[in-house]
Amino acid sequence: MRAALLTHVGEPLAMAELPMPHPGPRQVLIRVGACAVCRTDLHVVDGELPDPKLPLVPGHEIVGTVVEKGPEAGRFAIGERVGVPWLGWTCGVCEYCRSGHENLCERARFTGYQLDGGYAELTVADERYCFAIPERYGDVEAAPLLCAGLIGYRTLRMAGEAERLGIYGFGAAAHIVAQVARHQGRRLFAFTRPGDVGAQQFARSLGAEWAGDSTAPPPAPLDAALIFAPVGALVPLALAATGKGGTVVCGGIHMSDIPSFPYRLLWEERVVRSVANLTRQDAEEFLALAPVAGVRTETRTYPLAEANRALADLRGGALQGAAVLVP
């Protein structure tokens, strides 16, 4: 099977012909229909995350069809459409797994990082971490739901009941979260790279009542801010834009260093927190909510062989919505 392979971090992916993967116990073999490109893939390729499996097939926003089942796999039928997210396996016995925090599992394994992912024609996945895909979405439309959607949703949940919601970095996750937030009746304020008028317009088209530069103050103090851009300097900016008792949630897996800032920005019970990975419950909840909330995804498709171009476009901020690879 053909795959886009990472052999050395810091180098471009190369197309390779790999042996056909075989599903092990509780695994399914999936013919990939679409795999979205996540910023985390860039962090993996660039070597910003420690110890990836090498060589590695990246990609953790996979939608495909079950074509073979391994021993004891019975959750999905042959021909059924499934999604594979970032969380690929957990131990089930550590204190985090036992307390409903499997996203923090001590021995968790992640798709497209420690496990081969979806930049390929075929992939295998543990069926216990796969999800049925709502029928109303095509493969390409559904792919960004699997990470931008799921982890975006977990990030939004950490904002609690916040009514005035700020979003910093209006990419793939933000464009989905914005729609859910509007569905929940929240007021939306979008912050982009200074001068990025296109992204600001995109945010307004998705229901933001205000969109402006990340360095600008919002018209009213935020109740919570979500940061999706991997830019540590946004943390003090978001704190300054947030009112008393407000929360700033960092939704990414990697960020540049956060500059020091005066304590008064945190004072008055403001909170800064991060979100790590996802639980299967997040996925079930979000995939049920997305069609009800009328979430639509904006995508740009690339042939699998052009994975490097998709990564470059994401890096360059040239995308509106999500890049999706089609084998």
Q: Which is closer to Zn ion, CB of 250 or CB of 265?
A: 250
Minimum distance from residue 312 beta carbon to Zn ion (Å): 17
- List the Cα angle 11/172/114 in 5-degree steps: 45
Nearest of 168, 294, 178 to residue 236 by alpha carbon: 168
- Beta pairing class for 210-213 and 62-69: unpaired
Ranges of H-type helices in the chain: 39-45, 95-98, 139-142, 148-157, 172-183, 197-205, 234-241, 280-292, 307-315
Minimum distance from residue 38 beta carbon to Zn ion (Å): 3
Is the bond leading into 55 cis (omega within 30 degrees of zero)?
yes
DSSP 208-234: -SEEEETTSPPSS-EEEEEE-SS-TTH
Minimum distance from residue 172 beta carbon to Zn ion (Å): 9
Residues 6+ apart with CB under 8 A from 180: 152, 153, 156, 289, 290, 293, 295
Q: Which is closer to Zn ion, CB of 9 or CB of 42?
A: 42
Nearest of 63, 73, 78, 216 to residue 150 by alpha carbon: 63
Q: Which is closer to Zn ion, CB of 102 or CB of 223?
A: 102
Minimum distance from residue 251 beta carbon to Zn ion (Å): 10
Minimum distance from residue 284 beta carbon to Zn ion (Å): 18
Q: Which is closer to Zn ion, CB of 147 or CB of 165?
A: 147
* Positions that interact with Zn ion (CB under 5 A): 38, 40, 90-91, 94, 97, 105, 147
Residues 278/123, Cβ–Cβ less than 8 Å: no
Q: Could you tell me the two tokens for 190?
A: 């979008």
Q: Which is closer to Zn ion, CB of 91 or CB of 266?
A: 91
Q: Which is closer to Zn ion, CB of 244 or CB of 315?
A: 315
Minimum distance from residue 259 beta carbon to Zn ion (Å): 25
Minimum distance from residue 212 beta carbon to Zn ion (Å): 26
Contacts 24+ apart (CB under 8 A), 7-11: 7/54, 7/55, 8/54, 9/44, 9/45, 9/46, 9/47, 9/52, 9/54, 10/45, 10/46, 10/47
Strand, coil or helix: 87: strand
Minimum distance from residue 124 beta carbon to Zn ion (Å): 19
Q: Which is closer to Zn ion, CB of 38 or CB of 311?
A: 38
Strand, coil or helix: 109: strand
Q: Which is closer to Zn ion, CB of 38 or CB of 304?
A: 38
